[in-house]
Chain A
Amino acid sequence: MSNLLSIFIVMAVINNLVLSKFLGLCPFFGVSKKLSNAISMGAAVTLVMLISSLSTSVIYNYILIPFNIEFMNIIIYILVIASLVQIVELTIRRTNIALYNALGIYLPLITTNCAVLGITLINAREGYSIIESMVSALGAGIGFTLVLIIMSGIREKLEVSDCPKSMRGLPIAFITAALLALAFLGFSGMM
């Protein structure tokens, strides 16, 4: 149990996907302009991470390892994640319009996002079991959502601040991201 907890905390804050692994930077800058969009995007990414971690760790542990073809993991993961996201989008779209409006429009944007692919590859590299993979995906997803929410909150404030013209928009967002990453560096001493 304490092992699972430590995996969760390591993935959520210490090895945060965005701020210390630098994965998923495109949604980090693209969808962090408004808080509401950031929350939806974070939820969609967490959902996709959970689903893809489950399926890829099953495939890794029961197909790739027995046949001794672990080197094929990237290509098989892309295939599996892309089709699963398709199925999830299809299901949400046909059954629940409200949920589709909240999450569905983000799903095509993150089909093979590097954060989603990254977490499955990290799971494989660390040799996590299926449960451990799920916990690490949940942690990574929540860490991603957390950073996206912090960033969008800061950027909403920055919009109205008195900022030099040449730094407005993306430049100041990059500097903010750097300072945020520096702050998250403080977590690295925790474990």
Chain B
Amino acid sequence: MILVIAILTSIGLACAILIFIMNKVLPAESEALKETEKIAGCLPGINCGACGFPGCFAYAQALARDKDLIVTNPCMTVLQDKKMLGDLEKMLDIKIDPSSMNKKAVVCCTGDPETIGNYSGIETCKSANKLTGRFKRCPYGCLGFGDCAKVCPQDAIQIYAASGRNIAVVDPEKCTGCGLCVKECPNNLIKLVPADTKIVFLCSYDSIKNIPGREKCFRGCLHCRKCYKACEHDAIIWNKEKGIPEFDSSRCTL
């Protein structure tokens, strides 16, 4: 009995002394690692992996390289804890506004142009986009197979039911702005916009040589610039390169 206690204590003591000696003998860790250590101290430290990194320390390392990561790939646990958020702001010397991260997805296509051919392959937007080119008249529009709806964890995207047309529509009430659908769309039609935005350009051609117009789509942008001329507050900025209107929501008075 006493022998067991003695052996266990001595092994524990030996390990402790070994760690102590190693700590003294080894060279000091690099400055960058110390900095990362400090950032990791502001994180929850529960290694849940929800951010996609293997553990909080790996997230801290990525954060030390790129501060914007807290906006583009935020740690949800930190965002919900005021104290942790404050510490992290101080550490990274940036201001984080959780409400600005409150975003919604919108599908930038409202028209359902007539079909010019039959597609009978695998029923996903990705394969349809890759294999056939386009079977709808507008080359930019929503294909309506609902790749985005399949990944939505909130069931916020519906294809036909909400609009009566064969295009995806996001329900702003259900959308949490997670951005999963943005990556899915092969035409890059889905955008994340601030939740309080009043005005969004819902057509998404990217070349002025190929404007949707009336002949391709009943709801397509005509490129008439009427919106640009009508706005009295300069909230609409004309992107000359792409030939599309862009919005400055801080000037919008709607």
Contact = CB atoms under 8 A, between A and B. Distances in A.
Interface of A: 30-31, 37, 41, 59, 63, 67, 69, 72, 75-76, 79-80, 83-84, 86-87, 90-91, 93-95, 97, 100-101, 105-106, 108-109, 165
Interface of B: 3-4, 7-8, 11-12, 15-16, 18-19, 22-23, 26-30, 32-33, 47, 49, 54-55, 57-58, 61, 150
Contacts of A84: 15
A106 B55 CA distance: 8
A94 B32 CA distance: 12
Contact of B4 (A41, A69, A79, A95): A69
- Tell me what chain B mostly uses at the interface: helix, strand, loop, or mixed: helix
B133 to A, nearest CB: 22
Nearest to A71: B4
5 contacts: A31-B54, A67-B3, A67-B7, A105-B55, A106-B54
A69 B5 CA distance: 11
Contacts, number: 67
Contact of A108 (B7, B12, B33, B55): B55
A90 B23 contact: yes
Contact of B54 (A37, A67, A83, A93): A37
Contacts of B150: 165
B49 A30 contact: yes
A49 B14 CA distance: 21
Contacts of B19: 83, 86-87, 90
Contact of A59 (B11, B18, B29, B32): B11
Contacts of A30: 49
Most B CB within 10 A of own CB, among A91, A94, A165: A94
A72 B8 contact: yes
A52 B27 CA distance: 24
Nearest to A94: B26
A57 to B, nearest CB: 14
A94 B11 contact: no
A117 to B, nearest CB: 16
A79 B22 contact: no
B22 A90 contact: yes
A146 B132 CA distance: 40
Given A79-B8, A105-B58, A108-B55, A94 B18 contact: no
A121 B57 CA distance: 31
